[in-house]
Structure 1
Amino acid sequence: MTKILMTGVTGYIGGAVLTRFAQRPDFESFEIHCIVRSPEKAEKIKALFKNVKPIVGSHSDIPLMTEAVSKVDIVIAMADCDDVDAATGTLQGLRKRLEGTGKQPIFINTSGTGVLSDKAAGMNPTETIWNDADSDQMATLAPTQMHRNVDLMVVGADVEGYTKTYIILPATIWGIATGPLFDSGISNKQSQQIPALIGASLDRGHAGMVGLGKNIWPNVEIHELADLYSILFDAVLSPTANPGHGLDGYYFGADQEHTLYQIGTAISDALHKAGKSKGGQPTTFTKQELDKYFNGSDYLGSNSRCRANRSKSLGWAPKKTTRDMLDSIYPEMELIASK
């Protein structure tokens, strides 16, 4: 029986990935451990899946993570990708697992294409496009970039040789997640970026954007992103696939592109349709609004362009389009407004 530890299953990505794994025909051949903070959610998870064993605690608890990881063959981390303590505990546990079994464990970590972000503040697009299959280009990412410190810890562990590491980097994730984990209130149904823009726009009574909204990001639908985790998992365990790992182990979860202005326009249309604004073009967030809604950050105005060539070489073939993403904004707005 393959023993797996998952973190983040009460979140958006982690809930979707556990849901996807539960749909696999070989799901019952896995013994899945997961870290959850809530005893109530732990009980709900146990009621849903007989082969999922929750551990109540925090993935930031280094001793807890070290011990939990040391007992499994594979770790799939989908919680806070900037948590150095979580990464430290995980890597210590992976080293301990190798020492105890003599078999190299697997670490599939979640980062994000925020690692590619610049300081455009919505004022301009960029021509720089990152390729996950170009290891030399990926190695030029500055250690000061968002998420990069943890990414380098993970890759360094592979270079040392005590684990094989694979890093999935999702782009702007969209869509309301569905499935039993979400229906029962265990996992979070919504992403962060677009709902944050919707929430701010609802509060100010008009759709907003950072700067002129000229910056470009790629996007990915939540259930199609979950497919990538399952496909990579199969490739990692395949005796013949031999997917790139470590320095060659970056996998973008990204497909088509959009501008922030396009999202702002779709939010404006959704608010107008719901009778919550007069519509019209999105307007620039003031400094006071950036402080109020985004802790003073203009990050949503950054560029983050990439091509998921390595991911797609595994057979990952997302079908959802930017148009689908823009059409999803109205139900997202309805759900936020209902809260």
Structure 2
Amino acid sequence: MASTIFITGVTGYIGGEVAVVFAEKHPEYNLVFLVRNSDQAKTVKARFPSSETVIGDLDSHDILFEQGKRADVVLQTASADHIAVGESIIVGMAQGKKGHYIHVSGSGILHDVTNGFGNPSSKIYHDTSDLAAITSFDSSHVHADIDASVTAAGLKHGIPTAIVSPVTIYGVGRGPIKTRSLQIPFLTEAIIKRGKAFTVLEGNNIWDNVHITDLAEAYNVLTEEALKLNGGKSSWGKAGYYFVESAEHRWKDVVTELARIAHQKGAIKSAEVEKLSVEDASAVHPWAPLLWGGNCRSRGDRIRALGWAPSARKIEEYLPEMVDFEIKSLGTQSSATIF
């Protein structure tokens, strides 16, 4: 019998790419997607004809409960910060097949400005040796309280859960609706609108990165393991925490390259990079200190132990296509714009 995989967030960047990878690699899966309305359902069905869509949202308890009962694996990729969705699905799973639940988080949980904004940190968190520290962060760490609630709900109801925590995700996605990431697109948009590139102070702070398809492949590997007897070699529950990263970057280096590309394409008048204070950077974008000012350094030892390995080109090689995407979206092709 075909395995039923219930995915929230198929209309989003991560969930859409996961759906593409699953459809390519596992056409035998019975893919069930949560969508908000009939228009989204039509778009998703056109892309994945053999799939099933159910209309609802992350607060549709009864729908989520029923889909949880049906599923062999649930991938909750729609939100890292919604409490009710996980509880609804996990309670349903406990009354059904008792499958595996995979929740999206984010390495923003590691956001480190111990040495000040714009400065590097030497601390690297491994999802193996640093597991106790990672899973005991208090609510001042982004996503930490939701991660803990997912794990607790799984333990309470006897459902194996896993947290997948990606880093800076790059590349244009292939999903049916949203194909845009967050950090680099927001940064590129801010640079183009401002007319000049910038860093938060020195910009020497470090983040990990991963290509969107490599991230989706990690979900594929974990799902394959979940469908094996006793979850295969994968870890679940308190040990089920997975960072997914392939390399590191300094934000100053990324900004310098974005400025060069945007200037070359005529989207800004100069390739100069300006150092902004935290306050001035926040005026450009309210999330600037969080997105581009601190450090998030992790190592995905667990997913690599399952055989996952990144295969995409480095982040620098994808920046031109990401700049093109933002230029097209903003309508600034071949014309420097200063707002």
TM-score by length of structure 2 reads 0.89
CA distance, structure 2, for counterparts of residue 172 and residue 311 of structure 1: 17
Structure-1 residue corresponding to 2:310: 318
- List per-residue Cα deviations over 1:269-301 (Å, max 9, x = no partner): 112211222112343266255234235754421
Using the alignment, how far apart are the partners of 2:42 and 2:197 within structure 1? 40
Q: Deviations over 1:126-172 (max 9, x none)?
A: 12111112233333423431111111011113333520011111110
Q: In the alignment, is residue 198 of structure 1 matched against residue 188 of structure 2?
A: yes
Q: Partner letter of residue 315 of structure 2?
A: M
Counterpart contact for 2:64–2:89, Cα < 8 Å: yes
1:113-137 per-position Cα deviation (integer Å, ceiling 9, x unaligned): 1111123563311121111122333
Aligned to 1:111: 105
CA distance in 2, matches of 1:173, 1:49: 24
**What's the CA shift for 1:63?**
3.1
1:215 Cα deviation from its structure 2 partner: 1.1
Secondary structure at the counterpart of residue 119 of structure 1: coil
- 1:213 corresponds to: 203
How do 1:220-299 and structure 2 match up within 5 A? Answer: 220-239=210-229, 241-275=232-266, 276-284=268-276, 287-294=279-286, 297-299=289-291
Q: Name the aligned partner's letter for residue 262 of structure 1.
A: D
In the TM superposition, 1:23-38 aligns within 5 A as: 23-24=24-25, 26-27=26-27, 29-38=28-37
CA contact (8 A) 2:69 2:98 kept: no
Q: Distance in 1 between matches of 2:284 and 2:274?
A: 18
CA distance in 1, matches of 2:50, 2:145: 34
Q: Which residue is equivalent to 1:89?
A: 88
8 Å contact kept, 1:208–1:285: no
Question: Per-residue displacement from partner, 1:213-233 (whole Å, max 9, x unpaired)?
Answer: 121110000111111111111
Residue range with higher mean Cα deviation, 260-269 or 239-248 = 239-248
Say yes or no: does 1:152 pair with 2:153: no
Local SS of the residue matching 2:285: helix
Structure 2 SS opposite 1:176: coil
Q: How does 1:65-80 map to 2 (within 5 A)?
A: 65-80=64-79
Name the CA distance, whole Å, in 2 between partners of 1:166 and 1:222. 19
Q: Determine the structure 1 residue equivalent to 2:337.
A: none
Instruction: Determine if contact 1:268/1:282 at 8 Å carries over to the other structure.
Output: no
How far apart are residue 5 of structure 1 and its match? 0.8
Structure 1 equivalent of residue 294 of structure 2: 302
- Distance across 2 between alignment mates of 1:149 and 1:61: 22
**213 and 299 in structure 1: CA distance in 2 versus 1, 3 angstrom threshold:** same
What is the one-letter code of the residue matched to 1:225?
L
SS in 2 for 1:312: helix
**Distance (Å, rounded) in 2 between the aligned partners of 1:79 and 1:238:** 25
Residue type matched to 1:199 in 2? E
The residue number in structure 1 matching 2:326 is 336
What secondary structure is seen at the aligned counterpart in 1 of 2:273? coil
Gaps of 5+ in 1: 98-102
CA contact (8 A) 1:268 1:280 kept: yes
- Contact kept, 8 Å, 1:291 with 1:297, in 2: the verdict is no
Q: CA RMSD in A?
A: 2.0
Measured in 2, the distance between the counterparts of 1:305 and 1:288 equals 25
C-alpha separation between the residues in 2 aligned to 1:66 and 1:267? 44
- Amino acid aligned to 1:69: G
State the TM-score, normalized to the length of structure 1: 0.89
User: Is 1:167 matched with 2:176?
Assistant: no
8 Å Cα contact 1:265/1:282 also seen in 2: no
Which structure 2 residue ranges, 5 or more long, are not aligned? Answer: 330-339
Q: CA shift at 1:255, angstroms?
A: 1.7
Instruction: Indicate how the Cα distance of structure 1 residues 187 and 316 shifts in structure 2: closer, same or farther if over 3 A, else same.
Output: same
Tell me if the contact between 2:204 and 2:250 (Cα under 8 Å) persists in the aligned partners. yes
Runs of 4 or more, structure 1, over 6 Å off, are none
SS in 2 for 1:4: strand
Amino acid at match of 2:111: S
